[in-house]
Every structure is written in C-alpha cells, then in structure tokens.
Structure 1
Amino acid sequence: MTTTGTLTRADLAEALHHRIGLSRADSASIVEQILRHMCEALSNGHNVKISGFGTFVLRDKGERVGRNPKTGVEVPIAPRRVLTFRASQMMRERIVAAG
C-alpha cells in the first residue's frame, strides 16, 4: 500500500505482480477487468457481493423534502439511486482487531 493510506488500482496491480508473478501489464489488465465487470453489474442494477469482504448494494431513494440549512427554505430532493457498501462480518472483525 502507498504511504498516503489509500489503496489504488496501481497498488492492486503491483500486489498481483509481486505475489503471483504476472507481468505488470497483465496485472493492471486483470485489475481493470475486475473493476469494469463490477461497474457493469452495478450499472445493470445488480448488487456485487465479495465473500469475506462485503457487498455493494444499490438502493432507490424516494423523493423527499430537504431544507437549506442557511435559509431554512424547503426544497424537494429528487428520487435517486445510491450505492452503499456493507462490510462482511469477517471484514468488520479484522478492522476492529487492527484498530
């Protein structure tokens, strides 16, 4: 992982390169293919579950009334689809143990 504390595509590709011995180009290609496949599934309305990691879930939020915090004026918020992530129990336990 990088020193920024953020795991990037390049970091994932580099891990594949070192641990499995694939070329850097092949490693980057595999990471891109996996991410593209996940994006396509989500775009088509499917949830993505990675066992032991977590689940990316699409939720439809209905229209609601919001309020401008500065002025107090009520404004309608349009219905929309949002992406949420729910970590698996195993992942939550690992995070707690690491903290």
Structure 2
Amino acid sequence: MVRSELVLRLAAQNPHLHEKECEAVVSAILGRIQEALAAGDRVEIRGFGAFSTKTMRARQGRNPKTGESVPVTEKKALNFKPGKEMRQRLNSDTPDALPELRWAG
C-alpha cells in the first residue's frame, strides 16, 4: 500500500471527511513520526509495532566493482519491531480483516 492508497481507504471508510482532510491527517501523522525519529526518539504504535533508530558505526567497506577498500562513515538506520498482535496476525493461517480506521472528531 502506498500513501495515496492509504488516504483513499481512509476517505472511503470516513465519508464525512474530504479526501484533502484525510491527506492532511496522514501527512501530520507521518510527519510527526519522522520528526520524532530524527530527534532520536522511539515511536510505538500499540498493536502495530515500534520504530527506532540505530547508529551504524563507521567501518571499512569494499567497492564491489574494483575491490578497493573504501571508508564508510557512521550513519543512522531505521529499525522496526512488530508488535505482538502484528506478529500473531502475520503468522496465522487465516489473517483477520484489517480493523477500520475511524476518525473521532
């Protein structure tokens, strides 16, 4: 599923909201998650999973084409750990239907 599909699905399940409002909601949520991760915070969504960052240390890499040794600088990587409910759902033989997204407001 891509972002536009998420917006369309959210709008279809909440007919009282316009598509532009759904886009604003999705953008606000994703933007806040990005801000928190950039600040080094952990983001947990109960029943879904937790996002965190991990620092990858600097190391010596190798250019696969030439075999030359190349320095690789320290960088951050995104880490996702699925929640218990998500793991159970992914490993079940008959996954349940997705819970409906509802706007309370």
Q: TM-score, normalised by structure 2?
A: 0.76
Q: What do residues 14-49 of structure 1 show as CA deviations (whole Å, max 9, x unaligned)?
A: 222122221111111111111111111112111211
Question: Cα RMSD (Å) of the superposition?
Answer: 1.8
Question: More helix by proportion, 1 or 2?
Answer: 1
User: Which of these residues, 48, 55, 63, is aligned with residue 60 of structure 1?
Assistant: 55
Structure 1 residues 1-99: aligned runs within 5 Å: 7-21=1-15, 22-97=17-92
Unaligned runs of 5+ in 2: 96-105
Cα offset, 1:73, TM superposition? 2.7
Cα offset, 1:75, TM superposition? 2.0
Alignment partner of 2:32: what SS? helix
Alignment partner of 1:32: what SS? helix
Q: What do residues 54-85 of structure 1 show as CA deviations (whole Å, max 9, x unaligned)?
A: 11110111111222334333222111111121
Unaligned runs of 5+ in 1: 1-6
- Aligned residues between the structures: 93
Larger displacement relative to structure 2 (71-80 or 44-53)? 71-80
Q: Quick one: higher RCO (CA 8 Å, sep 6+), 1 or 2?
A: 2
